[in-house]
Structure 1
Amino acid sequence: MGCGFFQIGGFYMTILDRNEIWAQAFELGEMILRTPEVDHYKKCEQQMNDNKELASMVAKFKEMQENYDRLAEYSQGAHLDSLRQDMRKMQTELDAYPEVQAYKAAMGKVDELLQAVTGKIAATISEKSGE
């Protein structure tokens, strides 16, 4: 499918193919990477990684999550409950670190930005599709 033109009112609109849309999405992603929200998120992530004790706990927690997911895929039972409780305990310990709190807050800001962008795209499509 190539590009074409169609007229809405006095304006000519270009019809884009998927590759052109993907290219624009890539550019939008590049722009989002340069926002203060993403910059702050990266700094918070680096602070977590710089704390060796915290980085070790995070790695252990991720390993526990992977084990839980693998086991839960094929079985159920008390062993999963025990692992889930261990994960909750470790999550509570992790959440006590100021670096983790800052990281989660920064992640929330990035999520808000992405949701706002997605909402704007959806609103534009809804508005313009009726024209």
Structure 2
Amino acid sequence: MTTLDRNEIWAQAFELGEMILRTPEVDHYKQCEQAMLTHPELGAKVSKFKEMQEQYDRLAEYSQGAHLDGLRKDMKQLQAELDTYPEVQAYKQAMQTVDDLLKAVTDKIAATIVEKSS
């Protein structure tokens, strides 16, 4: 068995990432994301949610407390509204499918390491 250095492993990981980008699962995810972001009213709501999330993260980094409750409540309300759109539901499902693919690849790598190292 040939020993590889970290740079060779990173190169192989990059190639694996490129291969994953060309899967039907990732193509479908990109299509769902595009459909969600180009929807006339949905795109604006998604942008607003992302802004609220960034604001919440910045505030939560420096403090905890009741002053975050209002923002958290507004975010939950907007998230519930977003979840009613079929485009958002399709996007979330596509994201889960890609996550499942990545987990399967990670599990296969781990299983191979365990199997071959014994």
TM-score (norm 2): 0.97
Structure 2 unmatched ranges of 5 or more: none
Distance 2:111 2:5 in 1: 21
State which of 34, 44, 47 in structure 2 corresponds to 1:59. Answer: 47
Structure with the largest fraction of helix: 2
RMSD: 0.7
* Superposed structure 1 runs of 4+ greater than 3 Å apart: none
Identity, % of aligned positions: 77
Tell me, yes or no, if structure 1 residue 124 matches structure 2 residue 112.
yes
Structure with the largest fraction of strand: 1
Residue 4 of structure 1 corresponds to none
Question: Which has the bigger relative contact order, CA under 8 A and spacing at least 6?
Answer: 2
Q: In the alignment, residue 71 of structure 1 is paired with which amino acid?
A: L
Query: After the TM superposition, which residues 1-131 of structure 1 pair with which residues of structure 2 at under 5 Å, given as runs?
Result: 13-130=1-118
Distance 1:52 1:15 in 2: 54
Computing the radius of gyration over CA atoms, which structure comes out larger, 1 or 2? 1
Count of residues in correspondence between the two structures? 118
Structure 1 unmatched ranges of 5 or more: 1-12
CA positional deviation for 1:16: 0.5
With 36-45 and 74-83 compared, the bigger mean Cα shift is at 74-83
